[in-house]
Each structure stands twice: as structure tokens, then as C-alpha cells.
Amino acid sequence: MKIAVLPGDGIGPEIVAQAVKVLNALNLNLTMTEAPIGGAGYEAAGDPLPDATLQLAKDSDAVLLGAVGDWKYDKLERHLRPERGLLRIRKELNLFANLRPALLYPELAGASTLKPEVVSGLDLMIIRELTGDIYFGQPRGISTLENGEREGINTMRYNESEIKRIGRVAFDIAMKRNKKVCSVDKANVLETTELWRQVMIELSAEYPEVELSHMYVDNAAMQLIRAPKQFDVMVTGNIFGDILSDEASMLTGSIGMLPSASLDANNKGMYEPSHGSAPDIAGKDIANPLATILSAAMMLRYTFNDEANAVKVENACKKALAQGYRTADIATEGCHLLGCNAMGDAVVAALN
Ligand code: NAD
């Protein structure tokens, strides 16, 4: 099992080192090779996605990524900026399915802005299509009309196979969870999502054990705040998923806890925390490594099909929290405050 390890910038190297430590402690047959991306790629090879890094990612079964970006690169030409490396690697690897769990450990219920009883024990998976929709559809652009007024155009498009492909990911994942899929659309207004709904219904015939429901996106945005625990798996297109997954991430209140996965058609994936490179705290050994460690657990589950070890890592994170260990971002009164490295050690200790 080959893993490309791309620490990136800012806190990236610190948090990725903790996930690597946890993976090593499992004594699996993993080959991990490190390469630069983002600002680190620019420094090393003048390119935020150096050719050698892309080749390594293509040759590997999975990619573990820290984060990219630093304010010091903001003045670079657009194609040299760290974020470009990230967008390009997602595209080059054809990662069309973005999985963002929103999971709230009872110990952290106080970190959410919502009432603890609304969010405590929340375990929701949002699946967002990542390579289509209005973000990529043609025609697009800003043109000038005959009367001299400017007009902006973007086009919402999905074809049947694109919808089926992401729908299958949602149904397959629901089969490993509570067997409920809520498909989010705006079928009352947009034909593209009317087709989306039809295809989801057709596909559901192949998954008789999964309960499929539909929700309009405006209602879904409301229900996520009103009663988020009603959802198991939510599947939606690129633009709706962009907005809803950020909304859902705030239900948990702590950005340092949220993992993510982006998968291709063969379950090859790139795994990364949902947060950025946090340049404000880089190099201080205070970052929370749990989102990255939980991303490594997702890698074990979705790319390596190793549910037992995925659960083992997740339980070790839970145990460390239950023991009162906290990094500064999730600190509560009376907790045992740890740095990034020590939190990695606490998770490793909790594995056994
Ligand atoms: P950010 O997520 O890096 O940080 C937002 C806030 O959360 C900061 O106060 C930061 O200290 C804190 N934070 C983030 N992760 C944390 C962790 N693990 N532990 C403790 N605190 C944590 O977002 P930002 O400040 O808007 O962006 C900083 C840089 O990151 C920018 O260059 C941006 O482009 C980049 N970025 C990268 C990604 C990515 O690599 N996927 C995503 C978002 C932003």
C-alpha cells in the first residue's frame, strides 16, 4: 500500500507528522513517501505542484495532504500560488467525490454554537460532487450586450453518468452506515436537478436496503441547523455541497476536528483536514492534529478497505478526548492541555 505524503505549508508538516506517527504505530505494510506541494513546491521546484509530486501521487494508492498556503505567497502570479497546486492535483487525479463527515464527540458538544442536545452525538456524512455543475459548465463568462450593458453567464450542467457516479458513492457509503440517503436538489425550479432527482430514484432500485429521501436545498440548509441528527448520508451537487458542507462543519464548532476525503472512481483518494494551513500558529506546536489523524482513518476505510483499523484510530482519538486531553483550539476548563506533537503521542498511546 503506497501513500504519497504531502505536508504542504504552515502547520501542514506538524499535523501530517502526527498522522504518519499513528499510521506507523498500526504496523501495517505501508510505504510512505514525502513530496512538496503548495508553497513548499514553489520553493523546491518553482511550481506549486512539481512534476515529481504529481507523478508520486499518480503512482500511489492514496495521498495524505496537510494544507497549502501562506500569506507570503499572495503576491505571486495566480498560476504559481499554493492553492493552484491543490486544485490541479484534484483535477489530475479525477477526484469527483468529496466526503465530509460532520461528527461531534459528546465531549466537545460545548464547542458548537448550537445547543448541546441538538448536536451532541451528531454523525453526518455530506457527499459533494466535485468536478461538475455550475463551477465547470460551459458557456460561461462576462460579455457585453448590444446595449452596452455587461452580462455574466454560468451554466449548471450534469449528465446522467456524472449523477449516477456520485449517487453510487452515496449509496455504497450509506450501506456501511445507517442506510439512509438524503439527496438534495432544487428540482422544483432547476431542470438539471430535476434530472438529478430522477437518476437518484432510478439508482435507488439497485439499493433496496437504503432509504432514499429528497430535500430542496433551501429546506436542507434550514434542517441542518434545526435538527441535524435526522441525516445519515446527504448527497448533492457541487455548488449546493460547497455551501452545505461548510454549514455542517460549523455544527461541530471546531475546525481542527474535521477530516475529509476526495475519491476517484476506483476509491483512490486524497485525504486532508478541512481546515487550512493556519500560518498564524505554524511552527508553535499548538495546532490540533486530530482532523489529519481522522483523515488517515478515512484513508484506511475508503481506499484500503480496512474498517477495523479505521475504527481503531477513531476510537483512539475519542479515548484521548475522553481522557481530557485537548489542544488549545478545543480547550475547556480543567482539561489537560497538550501541544500538537504530544496530542499525536496521546492518540498513539490510546491505540492500545
Ligand atoms: P485556516 O483554516 O488556515 O485558519 C482559520 C483559523 O483556524 C486560524 O485562526 C487558525 O489558526 C485556526 N486553525 C486552523 N486549523 C487549525 C488546527 N488544526 N488547529 C488549531 N487551529 C486551527 O484558514 P485561513 O486563515 O483562512 O487560511 C490560511 C491559509 O490557508 C491561506 O493561505 C489559505 O489560502 C489556506 N487554505 C488552505 C486550505 C487547504 O489547503 N485545503 C483550505 C483553506 C485555506
Amino acid at site 313: V
- Does any ligand 1 atom lie closer than 6 A to the CB of residue 86? yes
**Is residue 103 helix, strand or coil?**
strand
- Whole-number pLDDT of residue 178: 96
Nearest CA to ligand 1 atom 40: 67
> Could you tell me the mean pLDDT of each successive run of 10 residues in the chain, 352 residues long?
97 98 97 98 97 98 97 92 92 94 85 87 94 91 96 96 97 95 98 98 98 98 96 97 89 85 94 94 97 97 95 96 93 92 98 90
Specify which residues 181 forms β-bridges with: 212, 233
Pairing of strands 259-263, 97-103: antiparallel
Instruction: Give me the DSSP letters along 92-135.
Output: HTT--EEEEEEE--GGGGGGSSS-HHHHTT-EEEEEEE-S-GGG
CA of 272 to the centre of ligand 1 (A): 12
pLDDT of residue 256: 86
135 belongs to the catalytic site: yes
Domain-wise residue ranges, the chain: 1-104+255-352, 113-252
Q: Are 101 and 258 in contact (CB under 8 A)?
A: yes
Q: What distance in Å separates the CA atoms of residue 35 and residue 6, rounded to the nearest whole number?
A: 5
pLDDT at 106: 81
Distances, alpha carbon 3 to alpha carbons 53, 223, 270, in Å: 12, 38, 10
Q: What is the pLDDT of residue 343?
A: 98
CB distance 70 to ligand 1 below 6 Å: yes
Out of 72, 277, 317, mutate this one to test ligand 1's pocket (max ligand atoms within 8 Å of CB): namely 277
pTM of the model: 0.90
d(CA 71, CA 9) in angstroms, rounded, equals 11
Instruction: For residue 48, give the C-alpha cell.
Output: 506549486
Q: Does domain 113-252 have CATH number 3.40.718.10?
A: yes
All three cell numbers of 268, joined, read 483512490
Ligand 1 pocket residue status of 241, Cβ below 6 Å: no
Whether residue 256 has its Cβ less than 6 Å from ligand 1: yes
Instruction: State whether residue 210 is helix, strand or coil.
Output: coil
pLDDT at 87 (0 to 100): 86
Q: Assess whether the region 1-104+255-352 and the region 113-252 belong to the same CATH fold.
A: yes
We find that the CATH architecture of domain 1-104+255-352 is 3-Layer(aba) Sandwich (3.40)
